[in-house]
Amino acid sequence: MTFDYDLFVIGGGSGGVRAARIASAEGGAKVALAEEYRMGGTCVIRGCVPKKLMVYASEYPGLIADARAYGWQVQPGAFDWAQFRGQLEVELTRLENAYRGTLKSAGVEVFDMRATVVDAHTVALADGRQVTTKHILIATGGRPFVPEVPGAELAITSNDIFHLAALPKRALVVGGGYIASEFACILNGLGAEVAQYYRGAQILRGFDDEARGLVATAMQANGIAIHCGTDVQRLEQGETGIRVVAQDGTVREFDLVMYATGRKPNSAGLGLEPLGVGFGRNGEILVDGWSQTAVPSIYAVGDVTDRINLTPVAIREGHAFADTVFRGVPRQADHDLVASAVFTQPELGTVGLGEEAARAQEPIEVYAASFRPMQSLFAGRQDRVLMKLVVSQASRKILGCHIVGPGAGEMIQLAAIAVKMGATKEDFDRTVAVHPTISEELVTMRNPVRRD
C-alpha cells in the first residue's frame, strides 16, 4: 500500500519535533507534523522556558540586597511587569521560529491546525483533508486543570499566568507539587503577598523528606504562608477580590488564585478510543517500552503517556522512536535515574532515590551536610544548603543525590553523570574537592548520619 507519508506526528512540542526531525533528516522518511497552537509545546511556550525566565526575574530583589551588603550602592526600583512580559513574548517567538526552522531544514511538512486519527493509517486535518500515513506518533502533551469546585471559573492555571495584565498584590497558589511551589516563589519574589494551600502534610511529595522540608522552611522564611492540610472549598467573587473559603472554614481574600494541582494528558478527542488504543486511569495513552500502543502503527511519546513528565525525557522518547522505526537502530528510552530540578528559592536538585524510598528497598547509609553558604552568610542572610548522598550498604553505590541551594539544578546535572555510571561513595571520596565551593561537600562527607 502507498501512503502519503511515512510518519505523521500530532503535536509540535519537544518530543514530537525531535521525532519528526530525526525520522526525516536522518531516517529518510517523508514526515508531516500538525500543531494546533504554537510550535514548541508546553516547555517552550507556557512551561519550562517562560517559567525559568520568571524565576530569574524574581531573584533580583535578593541579589540587589546582597549587593548592598557587599558594598555596592544600589537601590531596588519597581518591577515593570509590562516590560518583562513584552520581552518574554519576543523571546518565546524567537524560540518558536527556531523550532519551525529546524523542521523546515529537516524537510518536515508542517500543518498549523488540529489533526485527529481516523484509523490506523489515516489522519484528518481541521480543514477537511485526510491524509494517509504508515506510522502515527501522538505527542500532544498534557495540560493543567482546575478541579470542580464552586467558583472554579475565577481561578487560573500556569498556562494563564504569563499573560496577566498586571501582577497581583495578594496571590493564592493551590497545590504542593513543583509547579505550585515554583510559582509561589516567583510571585513572592516579584512582590506579591503569597499563600500556598496544600491538602497533604508537606509540599513536594515524592521528593526526599529532608530536602523538601528544608525548601519549605526556606520558603516560609522568605514570607510565603504555606498551609498544609488545607484545601479550597469554594471561590466567590467579592467586592475587592476573590474570597477563598477553605475546608477548615477560614476565609481569605486574594487578587489571584492559581491552581497547580496536577496535569492531565491531552489524549481525548483524538479519535483513538474506537481503534483499540489503551488508556490509563488519568487518560494517559498506554505504550510499551518502544512507545508503541496496542495499535501497531500508532505510537505515543511525552507527557501524553504520563511516564516521566519532563521535557528531556520526551525528547529522548521521540528520538528513540525515530531511531527504532526509521533508522534501523532499535533503542528504548532509558527512564532510570533521571535527574530533575525544582526551581524554588532555594532550588532543589535530585537524582535517584530519596532516603525514605531507599531505606524501604535495602540497608543504606546516609551522608548529609547542611550549612550556611559563604556568599549569603557574608550578606547576613540565614540561608542554608543541603548536600545529601544515599548509599547502598551492600554495593556502596550512590542510590540518590539531593542538593538544596543556589545552583542546585546545575550541580545535579553533573552529579547525575556519576550516579548514572554507578559511582560508589568511595569514588566520590577519591575526588579532590574544588575549594571554596558549595559542591565540594559532596566529596568531603566522611561519616554517615545517625538516625537513632
Residues taking part in catalysis: 435
Query: What region, left, alpha or beta, does residue 387 occupy, with left being phi > 0 and alpha being psi -120 to 50 degrees?
Result: beta
Pairing, β 142-144 against β 263-265: antiparallel
Q: Which residues pair with 198 in a beta bridge?
A: 228
**CA separation (Å) from 390 to 363, 366, 380, 387, 412?**
10, 5, 31, 10, 14
Name the amino acid, one letter, at 210. E
- How far is residue 110's CA from residue 112's CA, in Å, rounded to a whole number? 6
Sign, CA dihedral 217-218-220-226, equals negative
Nearest to 256 by CA among 186, 178, 360: 186
R_g over Cα of the chain: 24
- Contacting residues for 240 by C-beta, under 8 A, at least 6 apart: 253
- How far is residue 395's CA from residue 358's CA, in Å, rounded to a whole number? 13
- Contacting residues for 432 by C-beta, under 8 A, at least 6 apart: 443
Q: Which residues pair with 253 in a beta bridge?
A: 243
Lookup: cell for 357: 524510598
Sign, CA dihedral 264-265-268-272, equals negative
Label residues 22-48 b or e (16+ Cβ within 10 Å = b): bbbbebebbbbbbbeebbbbbbbbbbb
- Contacting residues for 146 by C-beta, under 8 A, at least 6 apart: 152, 155, 157, 259, 261
CB neighbourhood size of 62 (10 A): 17
- How far is residue 285's CA from residue 306's CA, in Å, rounded to a whole number? 8
Label residues 191-204 b or e (16+ Cβ within 10 Å = b): bbbbbbbbeeebbb
Provide the 3-class DSSP secondary structure of residue 271: coil
